[in-house]
Amino acid sequence: TTMTSNTAVQIVEKVGGLYVLNSEALNEILKHEVIGNKKVAILTVAGAFRKGKSFFLSNIVRYLQGKKNGEDWMAPTAPVSGFTWRQSSQAVTEGILMWPEPFVVKNEKDEEVAILLMDTEGAFDHKSSMTQCATVFALSALLSSVLVYNVSQDVQEDTLNHLQFFAKYGSFALDNAEGSPFQSLFFLIRDWQNGDEFGLEAGRKHLDEVMMAQASADAAMQNLRRDIQRSFVDIKCALLPYPGNKICRGSEGTITVNDMDPDFQVQLGKLVPHLIDNLLRPKEIGGKQITGSEFVEFFKAYSKIFSSGVVPEPKSIFEATSEATHQSALKTSLDHYENAMKAKFCELKEREYFEDANLRSIHEEMLNESVRLFNETKKMGSIPKYLDLLKDDAKAKFEDVYLKDNQNIMTIELTRREKEEAERLRIEQEQRAKEEMERQEREKEALRVQMEKEKAEREEAERQRLEAERAHQAAMAEAEKQRIEAERIANEERARLEAERQRQAEEENQRHQALQRQMDEMRVKQAAEAEETRRREEEYRRMIHQANRRRRNE
């Protein structure tokens, strides 16, 4: 089934005269993000075919959409659309349809509740057997928070006879469990022509008259009325006037609010808000309000027992309901156990685990909580095996999941610790080896520094020795130089003195030998020049000799 937001979805289909649940379509609606884990309230309209059920539901859709979007749902030009409806002698709806958009509202406890709307195949047409009509009617009542019983003009005896199934099942359920099995039955009397008063108060008065068995009525009808009243927590009635010719001759998408007769507009504008805001409550089964996921399971359970084409006996329905409520309680309790155990594991810090004895103690504590929750959860009837199933399933979950998970965590952690210890020892050994190598390197470095220091000291001593030797040699050279210079000076002085002596002698000779000197002047002069040459040669040799000695000394 293709789902859109403005087209009802068929969740129960008629196949070969039998009614088959379309689980995929139902799950698709119940998985809607706005539902989540919210409780659900289901409003269903049932009754004879071609009496305006889908038209009335379309107005409820419009009201909820207007409430959600802040729009005036009774604006004169507002189109009347939603569930498919049209003027025809043939039934439009087959099986059971559900509006694909859940509507979330807050109840008197300020809790969010998801409203689901269901439309049913019209009863008592020439195509459907009484068994088929009863099947749709029964499924509708079993699954609804409010069952709107749509009747034309008045509640007749045959109208009540159509509720025989509910009376029988209600009587059986009341004998075997606490509380009425059905929630709200709402008689919606259409095209009321027996007076000028309409609405809920007029409907209450009329319903009181209908349900008050006449003294002349046979015992069966008196018992039927009594069983109907006992089977439903709440029974109400509303009277609606004729909607107008345009409505009766029109179809979905062609009609607006302005096409309704004024009286009908007024009464519809009061009834729908009251029905949704004051009467609709979360669906209860076995005294427990159910969520969307639980609703799916109950729907499957009921569809299964109605799938044979024969209306099941009250006992079968009661047993199916009892089974479903116990399965729901089992699932809720197991979920609680699993969530509680997961929460305990989430409390563990990283790399922590439970000791086996401690974990088993936690398991026992959480199991006891789940058992207490199971026992406190309202259920229909008593099926002891489900408590055993809870204990067995929790034990299996504990041993197959949590105990093994904890052991895996413990094994991983112990392995990690062993690896960490081995790594720590390896690092310590490497650190010790590194420290030993560093110590040896420091000793080598200290030895090298000491050797370099001693070498430097030796080199310094050698340098000082060489420097002293050079200084000594320089001093010796300087002394030799001074000696030579002194010798030279002495020689020069001797030469000068000799020259002076010679000069004096010469002068003496000159005085005594003036004539000879004059005669020998040339010879003396030559001798003096020769002497001077000789002296210079000697001086030159001396200087050469001194230079050679200096070179040797250097």
* 273-319 residue pLDDT tens: 999 988 889 998 888 898 998 888 888 888 888 777 777 787 888 88
> What does the alpha-carbon distance between residue 101 and residue 3 come to, in Å, rounded to a whole number?
10
Total Cβ atoms within 10 A of residue 178: 10
What is the secondary structure of 313-327 as a DSSP string? PHHHHHHHHHHHHHH
Q: Which residues neighbour 250 within 8 Å (Cβ) at sequence distance 6 or greater? A: 86, 87, 259
> What does the alpha-carbon distance between residue 340 and residue 367 come to, in Å, rounded to a whole number?
9
Low-confidence ranges of the chain (pLDDT < 70): 1-5, 49-50, 85-93, 122-133, 213-217, 250-253, 349-351, 353, 510, 513, 516-518, 520
**Beta carbons of 323 and 312 less than 8 angstroms apart:** no
Helix or strand run (H / E) with residue 40? strand 39-47
pLDDT of residue 252: 57
- In degrees rounded to 5, what are phi and psi of residue 417? -65, -40
Note every long-range contact of 211-218, with CB atoms under 8 Å and residues 24 or more positions apart, other chains counting.
211/235
User: Could you tell me the two tokens for 176?
Assistant: 């075997």
Helix (H, G, I), strand (E, B) or coil at 31: coil
> What does the alpha-carbon distance between residue 167 and residue 223 come to, in Å, rounded to a whole number?
9
Q: Which residue has the tokens 């002349």?
A: 216
> What would you measure as the largest C-alpha separation in the chain, in angstroms?
218
> What does the alpha-carbon distance between residue 527 and residue 506 come to, in Å, rounded to a whole number?
12
pLDDT of residue 5: 59
What is the secondary structure of 417-459 as a DSSP string? HHHHHHHHHHHHHHHHHHHHHHHHHHHHHHHHHHHHHHHHHHH
Pairing of strands 112-120, 39-47: parallel
For the chain, the residue count is 554
> What does the alpha-carbon distance between residue 291 and residue 37 come to, in Å, rounded to a whole number?
6
- In degrees rounded to 5, what are phi and psi of residue 289? -75, 135
Classify residue 286 as left (phi > 0), alpha (psi -120 to 50) or beta. left
Alpha helix (H) residue ranges in 192-291: 199-211, 219-231, 245-249, 262-274
Closest CA to 116 of 137, 96, 91, 138: 96
> What does the alpha-carbon distance between residue 148 and residue 44 come to, in Å, rounded to a whole number?
6
Burial of 126 (0-12, 13-18, 19+ CB in 10 A): exposed
Instruction: Give me the amino acid identity at 120.
Output: T
**Residue 69 CA: distances (Å) to CA of 4, 73, 103, 421:** 18, 10, 11, 65
pLDDT of residue 385: 92
pLDDT of residue 2: 39
User: Could you tell me the two tokens for 279?
Assistant: 């009467």
